[in-house]
Amino acid sequence: MSSDDLATLSIAAFDQVVDATSGFRSRPGQREMAQRIASALSGVTLGEHANPGKAITVIQAGTGVGKSAAYLSTTVAMALARKTRVVISTATVALQEQLMTKDLPALAAALETPFVFALAKGRGRYLCKLKLERLVGDGASDDLFEPDEDQPPPRNAFAKQLQGEDPEERRTKLYESLAVAVAGGKWDGDRDLLPEQPEPRDWSAVAAERHTCTARHCPRFRECSYYNARTKLAEAHVIVANHDLVLASLGRKALPELDNCLVVFDEGHHLPAVALDQFASSMDLSSLRWLDKLPKALHEVSEKIHVTLAQDVNTLAQQLKTALFDVGRMVMDLLNVNATGYDAVYRFKNGVLPDEFTDPITLIQGHAGGLSKALEALGAEVKLLAKEDPSQAVSCSLMYAKLGQLAPKLGSVLETSSLLLEHGPQPLAKWLKSDTSSGLVFLTAHACPIVPGDLLRQSLWSQVRGAVITSASLTSCGSFDYFLQEAGLVKLPHVSTLEVESPFNYRTQGELIVVETEADPKNAEAYTREMVGELLSDLSQVEHGALVLFTSRVQMKAAVDALPPALQEAVLVQGQMARGRLLATHQARVEAGYPSVIFGLQSFGEGLDLPGKLCETVFITKLPFSPPSDPVEEARSEWLKSVGRDPFSELVVPATGIKLLQWTGRAIRTEDDHATVICYDRRLLRMAFGRRMLQGLPPYAVSRRVGGVALAV
């Protein structure tokens, strides 16, 4: 089929979906988006080819465009015609649920060609039945799959202990209940389908992790929860995943090869941050008991399969533990750590380790490398034995799992120490951290690349042939430049951009009011005091639903503490209850005719859908600049300054502009909404960088409020 025919077929599918949608309102922007996708992806070459055609189209679709219908109908129809598949990657569970329960079923009902869709999850969200059997069977006393006690306990662990909950008793009850559910066919091993989510440390002991799995050599392979889910994915034409999973799966064949399918990145503005998280590394410097278990496990397994270890693992493990302890002691001195709640971060300037750290980190890298080789070699021998002698499959799987439980910790030490010692033209962010939130001192060392675009270009875009990247907030200050730079798409000839305007009439549906405070926002204490006074006055006028977005917990607490009794009953504060319950309470109050105001932080500034009376006013307490203490951002700013560039103009302003676009986007959610955005930060109008951000916002009617009087701008 020619590229023109593919494009025509895709648009016809879009029209078919539109015609099948009851109560549909014409949205020219949605059709423009569908046409761009159809034309861009129709010329893509999939599979092996000496000089393949590529296309990546970056589309900002304003609120209300209906972007999921536009990209689903076109990409799925095109993929079915080409006998390939579509991978849809999101950043949030909420969007995944919308796609799986609403959008894809609607598309399947509208298209003539049937297709199968499935949700992809990381393997750690599935049960390993072999581990569970071991824990609830005769071998329950074995430490083979015990929870990782080296990790900091959950923040609520001490509260539970005070209430008399015994961790061992809790775990025993959990594993027995899981075994009963699996045996009775009431549960398929998917953690997300449990009525109550287990503690992460309890679940880790039975999770189907890659390092503990012999795959086809496992005696439970045919009934494995994870591999059964993989089989369903293999049969699906459309796979819904998330950005973390897509990046983590590169080269591992857990998802379709990206050079042989179509890819959609919805909520694409998250990709750069996810890339940094994926390529960051850290190692524990204080919880080292696993290094006592590692040589013991290696010897036990080697003796059982009659293999001689090439390395002296006892000595290597002791040397590694000593080196890690020495570095931990140096960190304690450097951070002046104690166990009274003092948390600290120390970043190495310009990514250069001081001389006193270089030698011990080099020792750590060397010892960890030796142990890693021994672990990998023994694991390979265990797998080979399971393959050659199926009668030993059970014991081999258990031995492999015993080794595999220690592999992630060793891998983190090796990777982090290697990155800490790495030096190049572009420095890495390197820092040390202490955490005493659990009542104990946990010390960690970290390393992370500082330019996400380079990571994405090398690891992701080098493989992708045809992709759509979309979001309601890909432009900043009226331009795609910042996102293209951050995402590694600058100057790629096969990349195109399109901004599709929202169908909403922001000038008549909304208003943006900028309050002129006397205090300078840089003077945090005076500004917060004045802002809170203005906010409380405005909150007293709320009739239905409203949302207040704060830039810090300190700022939010100041507002909560100042609430008069008349407003206390109307305010719901993020963190006081589960998010779903809070939103349900808010909706119930508004529907009952009572005023209700949500106080929230950054996570409530994105993805929150409160149409109509649920949110008639959005209050922005301050421009949402990121905290200046983030080690990766600090390191990147330092590097940019060293090469004569301006990090504030190049990074800080556009990043804040995107957040501000998201925050203001909570106000108007449908064509029938009327809402007001009130920003208390005068810099939005007074400063050049504020006016830059304003250019990237929807075309609200803007006014300035001085002394309670609104003045047109």
- Provide the 10 A C-beta neighbour count for residue 568: 9
Mean pLDDT split into 10-residue runs, the chain, 713 residues: 93 92 82 97 93 96 94 97 97 92 95 95 93 75 52 49 67 92 92 91 91 90 93 95 96 91 97 96 94 95 94 96 95 75 86 94 97 96 93 91 92 97 91 87 94 96 97 95 97 96 94 96 95 96 97 96 94 93 96 97 92 97 89 94 95 96 95 96 97 95 89 80
SS3 327: helix
pLDDT at 158: 43
Q: CA 288, 289, 290 angle in degrees (round to 5)? A: 90
Domains of the chain by start residue, with CATH: 3-116+236-276+453-500 (3.40.50.300), 281-376+417-448 (1.10.275), 506-712 (3.40.50.300)
At 201 the pLDDT is 87
pLDDT on residue 143: 52
The arrangement of strands across the sheet holding 55-61 comes to 117-119, 238-242, 86-90, 262-265, 466-471, 55-61, 495-500
pLDDT at position 336 is 80
| 689: phi then psi, degrees, rounded to nearest 5 | -70, -30
Asked if residue 689 lies in contact with residue 471, where contact means CB atoms within 8 angstroms, the answer is no
pLDDT of residue 710: 77
- Which token pair is 495? 């990349």
**DSSP secondary structure string for all residues of 178-224:** HHHHHHTTS--SBGGGSSSPPPHHHHHTTB--GGG--GGGSTTGGG-
Rounded Cα–Cα distance for residues 46 and 382 (Å)? 38
Task: Supply the pTM of this predicted model.
Answer: 0.91
**Phi then psi dihedrals of residue 625, to 5 deg:** -65, 145
Amino acid at 517: T
What pLDDT is recorded for position 340? 52
Cα-based angle 344, 346, 347 (whole degrees, multiple of 5): 145
d(CA 479, CA 499): 9
**CA torsion angle 704 708 710 713 (round to 10):** -20
SS3 category, 65: coil
CA distances from 69 to 249, 388, 501 (A): 27, 51, 16
